[in-house]
Amino acid sequence: MVNVREEAKALNPQLVEWRRHLHSNPEIGMETPNTEAFIIGELKKMGVVKIRQGLAKHGIAALIEGKKPGKVLGIRCDIDALNMKEDTGLPFRSSNDYMHACGHDAHTAMLLGAAKILTQHLDDLAGTVKLIFQPAEETTQGAAVMIKDGVLSDPPLDGIIGLHTGGLWKGAETGEIGYRYGPLMAACDFFSITFHGKGGHGATPHLTVDPIAMACQAYTALQLLVSRETSPIDSAVVTIGAIQGGTAENIIAPACTLRGTLRALTPATREMLRTRIRKICEDIANALRGSAEVSYSEYGIPPLVNDRAMTDKLRRAASDILGEKHVREIVEPTMGAEDMAFYMERVPGTFFSHPSFKSEAENYPHHHPKFDIDESVLWIGSAAFAQFALTWA
């Protein structure tokens, strides 16, 4: 039997080294050429030769083929950073104006670690593992473009797994693994609503059609979608984050724009919100003698829903590594979104929690300029990936 636990623990210093290199050299969106080159270089050192690059500009799909027949498993990580400046003071802090403030540097290091373990045990590996290194998760574009570019084919996947490090969910502590059946993360759509009217002088509002008045009415009405049109045992969020209209105190503008986000845990609730936002805004605009133009972002993310059978296999693999008492159920989903959901719409999969909280005094949330992780538990992610690949089929 392969002792994945001990091999992964021995590999932790290498995982830290990989993570710190990536942390010091962050890239954003789909513009990740140096990250792509680094990953490919490390894979080639391990003997991985079947590497497809250039997916979503700088994404990678690499194959590790076992000596036994079996299914094809995808293991996905995200590789991009955030467009924000770091304020950790770490010796390996970012060398530019971007920052790995969400743990994607750790995700990449952990997937490289799993690849290292698996390439050393091809005789024990049944089937094929496709390593998926994806850019542009933070912009919500990466997964959809990777799929468009063929990441799920040649060969097609029978299952897919992934993880998120840090502290997004309750239920598991640092050094453990968290799992959840069913919905884990919300659908997320960004929307823009522009109300059109007729501008004019602030002293003669009766001669105008005021789009700011329309926007104010719509803002209030949209809040009722959650309190009065969504089941109280369901979850939904409608947030207006920006209102833009007008240039001076005494001028009624010809247009006003609301921009926001909707989030839901089920496809049905997501579709209800999308439909009702459009209907409410158009009707309010019409009632006030104007018009409304509603648009949604091209890369709206569906809800991330874990497959039960794949989650059972993840529980077993993680328990093999940590023992059952350190594999815990996630108490509740988050209304945050993850474009891993695009893959899991098409392929049965599971996405799990890799808690890496630092001490209470040092613990900062994701997307904070002081965000950091406990590097001593990186090996757990690599071990869970590798053990799953060796035992799932």
For the chain, the structural domain boundaries read 4-184+304-391, 187-296
Number of Cβ within 10 Å of residue 151's Cβ equals 23
Q: Which residues pair with 126 in a beta bridge?
A: 68
**Dist. CA 299–CA 337, nearest whole Å:** 12
Model confidence pLDDT, tens digit, residues 54-82: 999 999 999 999 999 999 999 999 999 99
Number of Cβ within 10 Å of residue 358's Cβ equals 16
Model confidence pLDDT, tens digit, residues 339-356: 999 999 999 999 999 999
Residue whose C-alpha is closest to residue 185's, from 330, 378, 371: 330
Number of Cβ within 10 Å of residue 368's Cβ equals 15
Q: Which pLDDT band holds residue 151 (cuts at 50, 70, 90)?
A: very high
Model confidence pLDDT, tens digit, residues 374-391: 999 999 999 999 999 999
**Dist. CA 150–CA 156, nearest whole Å:** 9
The CATH topology of domain 187-296 is Alpha-Beta Plaits (3.30.70)
**Domain at 4-184+304-391: CATH architecture:** 3-Layer(aba) Sandwich (3.40)
Q: Which residue has the tokens 């797994």?
A: 161
Q: How far is Cα of residue 148 from the mean position of the Cα atoms in its chain?
A: 18
Model confidence pLDDT, tens digit, residues 183-215: 999 999 999 999 999 999 999 999 999 999 999
- pLDDT > 90 in the chain, percent: 97
